[in-house]
Amino acid sequence: MQSTDEFDVIIVGAGISGLYMLYRMRRLGLSVRVIEAGGGLGGTWYWNRYPGARCDTDTLEYSYSFDEDLQQEWEWPERYPTQPEILKYLNHVADRFELRRDIKFDTRVEAAHYDEAGRQWRIATDDGAEMAARFLVMATGSISAPNIPAIDGMDSFRGPIHHTARWPHEGVDLSGKRVGVIGTGSSAVQAIPVIAEQAAQLTVFQRSPQWSVPAHNRPSDPEMVAEIKADYAGFRARNRLESGAQLSHIPANDFSALDLSEDERQRVLEARWQLGGFPFFGAFNDITVNPDSNKVTADFVRGKIGEIVEDPDLVDMLTPEYTIHCKRPVLDSGYFETYNRSNVLLVDINAAPIQAITPDGIRTTDADYDLDLIVLATGFDAMTGALLRIDIRGRDGLPLSDAWASGPVNYLGLQVSGFPNLFTITGPGSPSVLTNMMVAIEQHVEWVTDCIAFMVENGHASIEATEEAQEAWVAHVNEVADATLWVSCQNWYQGHNIPGKPKVFMPLPGFPPYVEKCEEVVANGYEGFILA
């Protein structure tokens, strides 16, 4: 491979992490190129344009904290930002810090090979260009590689099929249409109420019901905003460590369900239900580790589903059996209410699996459903998909796909042994998707920035995780995960949604101890890494 352009750093992806990484690298005085497959920036918020797409973390937390003027000046209209609002914000950030000039859009990285002699990463893109850089930062996102299920007859369907994460930019006119949605995860739960209002008929094909709680979106409260902005740095610091970078700044209560009487439990749960959003899952401090506390919470939501949904058969179909909070929690705006509409039909594809997509719609083992349009709300090959879809090869030509054949292995979720100078932002083995992603991203970008600055200052050519540190880290991640209820059901955290994917719990529970460990590693001279 012949190198044409050389940089100090190549960053793959211009989403939230790629943009911040670029900002930081420039401030170190390094030459940087960001390569982005999309026609615009924003990563997940560029691609996910399905009806109802919205973040489920409060806006005041789901935003960058690195620039005081930026966070003071930006105004969010609602409690949870819509996809267009977040995209507007990220475009503003790019303009404000003049980031665009170093981003190459509409370009997909196909291969990244480590050239040991030249101590460089050599990158090939789909437009035939070649580039090289000393450092390669994969800012490719944790939930970015869409999962398109292999269903027989997909090509035969007469109408359009859209994945939620590849929704047409020009929008889709659903009026008068018979729409089928496959999947009932976070994306579907947001899209279904909106689609039901627009379409003539909506048929939802459900493999697993959802423990969903109301988001209670509302306009931003000026008083609360002013209070937070009066000490934004303090607010961020408290969220980051005291609240454990959770998806809400309202900390979990400091007691178990088992400490309370039945009346007190119901009162606490009802108060949290009324708050809406992720605070509900913090009604008790042990919902992710204590099956009894978990069951109290699940029973409460079971009761709520029963109150909202009118048809008792539908209540049964819509009520999960698995531990609550085991699949990634879902927030909704009128999701269960939607099943009371006369134009909505729920199909249980566990009872009658999908056999094929036909020219006219979807065929299950029970019936044929005539459709004009199919929505695949089938999620992502999470955490590893975006990395493994690129031909990444480390020392001695070792493919990442071989190194990760039995599941992802790395050190701190940041570096893989055998892949010098390659960093993964919010990689598997780090808290990432179990936290407010903004916080996890900023922490990783800052750690990598400090590491690269240290290397430049001290004349180190490369940094690489040792095999021993990596083995110990993987064992640690498994040990922490095994003590939680996250391993008690089928979820994408463990790759269950992707046929043939190794079943390994990928994120690391516990942000504050993770940050401490990252800091300790640095204080001990990058313990567990080889600096050459």
Q: Is 328 in the site for ligand NAP (CB under 6 A)?
A: yes
Q: Which is nearer to ligand NAP, 190 or 243 (CB)?
A: 190
- The binding track of 235-264 with respect to ligand NAP, each residue x by CB under 6 A or -, is ------------------------------
Q: Is 188 in the site for ligand NAP (CB under 6 A)?
A: yes
Q: Which is nearer to ligand NAP, 207 or 460 (CB)?
A: 207
Q: Is 56 in the site for ligand NAP (CB under 6 A)?
A: yes
Strand 330-332 and strand 130-138: the pairing is unpaired
Q: Which residue has the tokens 């039995």?
A: 406
Q: Which is nearer to ligand NAP, 133 or 376 (CB)?
A: 376
Least distance (Å) between residue 291 CB and ligand NAP: 20
User: Measuring CA to CA, which residue among 25, 493, 441, 23 is closest to residue 240?
Assistant: 441
Q: Which is nearer to ligand NAP, 473 or 492 (CB)?
A: 492
Contact 135, 34 (CB under 8 A): no
Whole-number Cα distances in Å, 168 to 52, 151, 327, 381: 14, 21, 28, 21
By three-state DSSP, how is residue 134 classified? strand
Least distance (Å) between residue 374 CB and ligand NAP: 12
Q: Which residue has the tokens 């916080």?
A: 439
Q: Is 209 in the site for ligand NAP (CB under 6 A)?
A: no
H-assigned helices in 459-510: 467-482
Q: Is 507 in the site for ligand NAP (CB under 6 A)?
A: no
Q: Is 426 in the site for ligand NAP (CB under 6 A)?
A: no
Q: Is 208 in the site for ligand NAP (CB under 6 A)?
A: yes
Least distance (Å) between residue 382 CB and ligand NAP: 7
Q: Which is nearer to ligand NAP, 163 or 393 (CB)?
A: 163
Q: Is 59 in the site for ligand NAP (CB under 6 A)?
A: no
Two tokens at 293? 């506390």
Q: Which residue has the tokens 């939930």?
A: 143
The DSSP 8-state label assigned to residue 35 in this structure reads: E
Cα 142 from Cα 138, distance rounded (Å): 10
Cα 240 from Cα 435, distance rounded (Å): 9
Q: Is 384 in the site for ligand NAP (CB under 6 A)?
A: no
Q: Which is nearer to ligand NAP, 449 or 494 (CB)?
A: 494
- End-to-end Cα separation, the chain, in angstroms: 25
Q: Which helix (H) or strand (E) holds 347?
A: strand 344-348
Question: Where in 83-122 is the site for ligand NAP (CB under 6 A)?
Answer: none
Two tokens at 87? 């995209």
Find the binder of ligand NAP among 11, 32, 131, 143 (CB under 6 A).
Answer: 143
Q: Is 377 in the site for ligand NAP (CB under 6 A)?
A: yes
Two tokens at 118? 């030249």
Q: Which is nearer to ligand NAP, 4 or 350 (CB)?
A: 350
Cα 338 from Cα 336, distance rounded (Å): 5
Question: Going by C-beta distance under 8 Å and a sequence separation of 6 or more, which residues neighbour residue 439?
Answer: 61, 239, 240, 245, 511
Q: Which is nearer to ligand NAP, 131 or 504 (CB)?
A: 504
Find the binder of ligand NAP among 81, 379, 418, 528 (CB under 6 A).
Answer: 379
Question: Where in 167-186 is the site for ligand NAP (CB under 6 A)?
Answer: 182-186
Least distance (Å) between residue 96 CB and ligand NAP: 24
Cα 502 from Cα 489, distance rounded (Å): 15
Q: Which residue is nearest to ligand NAP (CB)?
A: 185
Q: Which residue has the tokens 């919205």?
A: 54
**Sites of contact with ligand NAP (CB under 6 A):** 54-56, 143, 147, 149, 164, 182-188, 190, 207-208, 328, 349, 377-380, 433, 492, 497
